[in-house]
């Protein structure tokens, strides 16, 4: 993931826990290992670019968060 503008927070794990994590700013990059669960959030309007080498899928832990079904 690359932060284009705004800020983006992320943490690895199955349970959403923001803890004392600082938001990444524009130009920041995050690499998540294959098969690793992680979650992210913003506190302002932000643009984040997601990169992947296939196959790739997004699985929402909380179905109401999935924009494909709303």
What's the pTM value of the predicted model, to 2 decimals?
0.69
Number of Cβ within a 10 Å radius of residue 46 = 19
Residue 48 CB contacts under 8 Å (≥ 6 apart), including other chains = 1, 2, 3, 4, 6, 8, 40, 42
pLDDT digits (tens, 9 = 90+) for 15-70: 766 677 788 999 999 887 777 778 888 889 999 998 888 777 777 777 888 888 86
Structural domain count, the chain:
1
Give the structural domain span for 52: 1-70
């Amino acid at each position: 993931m690359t932060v284009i503008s705004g800020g983006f927070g992320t943490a690895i794990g199955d349970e959403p826990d923001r803890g004392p994590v600082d938001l990444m700013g524009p130009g920041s990059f995050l690499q998540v290992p294959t098969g690793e669960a992680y979650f992210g959030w913003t506190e302002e309007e932000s643009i984040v670019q997601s990169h992947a080498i296939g196959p790739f899928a997004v699985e929402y832990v909380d179905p109401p968060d999935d924009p494909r079904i709303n």
